[in-house]
Structure 1
Amino acid sequence: MLDTKQIAVLTIATLAIAGLSVQTYKYLTTPSFDPQLAIDIDYYSKVSYCDVDAIQKWNCGDSCNYHSGMTEVQAFNKKTKEAQGYCGYDAPNKRIVVAYRGSSNIQNWIANFQVIPVKYAECQGCLVHDGFQLTLKEISDNINACVQNLAKKYQNAQVFVTGHSLGGALATLSALEIAKIVNPSKIVFMNFGSPRVGNQQFVEYFNSVITNKIRVVNFKDIVPHLPLKIMDFKHVNTEVWMLSNGGINDYKVCLTEEDPNCSDSVKAPTAADHTDYFGFYTGC
């Protein structure tokens, strides 16, 4: 009996022979995106915006209460670039969770606009956003140590890596570091409203390492359009484009990088669609 991948290959070949494009096939398939799982992950991201002490105690109101079974939480904030994130274990769901905060102050915005492509040492010809790389560096050792300890303790757990806005960019870089700690097949990567992080070589490297990956873009959110493509920045796969602000079940899954039929088709992006995903505020 043919498996799913073999069926997909045969279907693409059949469509090609019939004169239909592979792009057409992509939108005929059933998307693997699960809106409810995305909301679950977005709540991990929301917590990253809360006060560090509140995160550490997992006592931050509705944002923390959504995942009430979180344990062994470690939260980190470094003042130089105001990097903030946390790591913990969601016991009921058997998930190790890593989440990074988005822009919340002037230091973060400076990091956002420090658009200097610099060498990324892990792959040939790879360049990444200098501000994002330097911001992650402030807390990555702490996060990685937390993941390593939890992964030893909970060997069957998946590792969920997420963040919104700047936090989404940090999560992108962090996922590759975590892939050195655990088997990459255990990583579930999903970010929200992330800017572009690196060049084409970096995108290809990321896509080859992180297999379970989704970028959610809310309708006309402006941040995923930055930094500009003409500056040689590209997005990683796989985009899920929400087709209305606050929508949950109205979306398109886009399997190719920078798909012109998805959010890249928006001609007038807006900041208004950046702070509300799935109908609720992305902050704490």
Structure 2
Amino acid sequence: MLGLLAISLSIALFAPKWVLAASILKDRAVPPINQPNLADISNLTLFAQYSAAAYCKDVLNTQQTLPLGYQTKVRCKAGICPLVEAAETIIITGFDREEDHDVEWDPSKSIDVGGFVAIDKTNHVIVISFRGSSNLEDRIDDAKVIQKPWKCDGCWAHQAFAQFWEAALVTVQTAVSAYQSDFPSYPIVVTGHSLGAAVATLAAAEIRRWFPSIPVYLYNYGSPEVGNQALADFVTSQGGNFRVTHFDDPVPRLPGTSLYAHITPEYWITSKNNVPVKAADIKYMPDGGGDVGFPTTDLDAHNWYFGPIDSC
């Protein structure tokens, strides 16, 4: 993610010129949280570990939808996701390097988006997790600050983030649709770290349209700004969002132009790296503005969210 910071700070934003037909998402508030303490530190930690698991190649290489009951557990490198490994999980599908879907600016290349869809029978959720940046191509794409129209009224999204989500959309929709009816009481949680957090933000907004009667929650960690103020307002108005930042993490300050804004609320981890996070270390900021307001930066802080999050 070093490339994201260095390149983004050096690129000047120019006016978007895309003309794109887009279906408009209807605003829909997420139903009230129907699980106790979904926003408490245990859940913030659990879904951070699900985000960490998306960096694990063994998880992503579960390439095909599996028969229901096929017990392929979510597993990480030792110590990375113990809460996830302790749960009874089924990987529905893993994906890595999906092909383009209507990408205008460079239709010759594929999009290196990674992630997985899993059912967690212990915590009673369906989880969709997106991987953060894994190679130089990702980091260069992260740094592009061009916007394109997105699927709500007046909304513009970061071109590359929208492109990553569009590449994974069909795979995710097919997998979740195939299994949701078997677990009708399970809410859906969309999560990710860094680039994965940005993709998860767009994914959650659209998945809420697919399943209007099911709670769909977003847990993102160290996310850059995803789009313009209209997009941020739209996703915020849907509810069910937990945007987590960490003291001195520079990535949530990107792209750092007036044409971008963050969703809210923000859960700001004020403690340092490599120490256990306590509930008192998390500051709830309904209007955001936590780490963004600090001039100092610590790139290691981007990699520590309740534990090492990109080390699998």
Do the aligned partners of 1:47 and 1:55 also contact (CA within 8 Å) in 2? Answer: no
Do the aligned partners of 1:77 and 1:84 also contact (CA within 8 Å) in 2? Answer: yes
Do the aligned partners of 1:47 and 1:283 also contact (CA within 8 Å) in 2? Answer: no
1:128 equivalent among 147, 153, 157: 157
Q: Distance in 2 between matches of 1:176 and 1:36?
A: 24
Q: How many residues align?
A: 248
1:228 equivalent among 256, 263, 283: 256
Do the aligned partners of 1:151 and 1:182 also contact (CA within 8 Å) in 2? Answer: no
Give secondary structure in 2 for the equivalent of 1:191: strand
2:164 equivalent to 1:104: no
Give the CA deviation at 1:38: 0.7
After superposition, residues 93-242 of structure 1 pair within 5 angstroms as 93-120=123-150, 122-183=151-212, 186-209=215-238, 211-230=239-258, 232-242=259-269
Letter in 2 for 1:108: D
Do the aligned partners of 2:130 and 2:197 also contact (CA within 8 Å) in 1? Answer: yes
CA RMSD of aligned residues (A): 2.0
> Where does structure 1 lack aligned partners over 5 or more consecutive residues?
1-30
Do the aligned partners of 2:125 and 2:189 also contact (CA within 8 Å) in 1? Answer: yes
Q: Distance in 2 between matches of 1:96 and 1:39?
A: 16
Bigger relative CO (Cα 8 Å, ≥ 6 apart)? 2
Do the aligned partners of 2:249 and 2:298 also contact (CA within 8 Å) in 1? Answer: yes
Letter in 1 for 2:254: L
1:66 equivalent among 83, 88, 103: 83
Q: Distance in 1 between matches of 2:149 and 2:217?
A: 26
Identity percentage of aligned residues: 28
1:49 equivalent among 52, 55, 59: 55
Change (3 A) 1:52 1:111: farther
Structure having the higher Rg: 1
**TM-score relative to the length of structure 2:** 0.74
**TM-score relative to the length of structure 1:** 0.81
Per-residue CA distance 1:122-173 (angstroms, 9 max, x = gap) = 2221111001011111111101111112212111101011000000000000
Do the aligned partners of 2:194 and 2:221 also contact (CA within 8 Å) in 1? Answer: yes
Give the CA deviation at 1:82: 1.1
Letter in 2 for 1:194: S
Give secondary structure in 2 for the equivalent of 1:148: helix
Give the CA deviation at 1:227: 0.7
Give the CA deviation at 1:282: 3.5
Q: Which structure: greater helix fraction?
A: 1
Do the aligned partners of 2:132 and 2:193 also contact (CA within 8 Å) in 1? Answer: yes
